[in-house]
Amino acid sequence: MQDKQTFLEMCRLFYGSGATSRGFDETIANKTFDYLMSNHENLWGYILEDIDDLAPVGYALITSYWCNEDGGNVIILDELYISSNKRHKGYGKMFMEWLENEFRGKAVAISLEVITTNIIAKQLYNNSGYKEDGFSMMTKYLK
């Protein structure tokens, strides 16, 4: 239960930080956490912890799909949040390195989207070797 409260609290902060164009929706966040706990085959969630005291410093949501163009599974870093008081301390970089090592040999690529105004996140991703691929994300919501 503590993990759920930690996730919901950090998720609320993430959605209030300008990292997304939508506001926080507690119903959706609860649904996401419950889905994660169902051990779904292509959705993973992580509470990131401080190396020394194991206190939560952030969270990540990851999913995947098969891509014909790339010829294999592609990992999607859906959300990465680092608490404001823990930013610029290497947690984002460490997570990105872990992600790459964890999925090497299991996937052909890791993709992510970042809102254009989030310059700090874009720097992290660029420094981790991510490049814009010329595609634009387009979405139509189904009701």
Domain CATH for 28: 3.40.630.30
- In this structure, is residue 142 part of a structural domain? no
Q: Provide the domain limits for residue 54.
A: 2-127
* pLDDT recorded at residue 69: 95
- In this structure, is residue 140 part of a structural domain? no
What tokens were used for 68?
């014909």
- In this structure, is residue 32 part of a structural domain? yes
* pLDDT recorded at residue 105: 97
pLDDT per position as a tens digit, 87-111 = 999 999 999 999 999 999 999 999 9
- In this structure, is residue 109 part of a structural domain? yes
- In this structure, is residue 134 part of a structural domain? no
d(CA 35, CA 32): 5
Compute and round to an integer the Cα radius of gyration of the chain: 15
* pLDDT recorded at residue 20: 87
Give the residues across from 47 on adjacent strands: 59
The number of folded domains in the chain is 1
Q: What percent of the chain has pLDDT over 70?
A: 99
pLDDT at 1 over 80: no
- In this structure, is residue 137 part of a structural domain? no
- In this structure, is residue 90 part of a structural domain? yes
- In this structure, is residue 141 part of a structural domain? no
Give the residues across from 112 on adjacent strands: 77
* pLDDT recorded at residue 24: 96
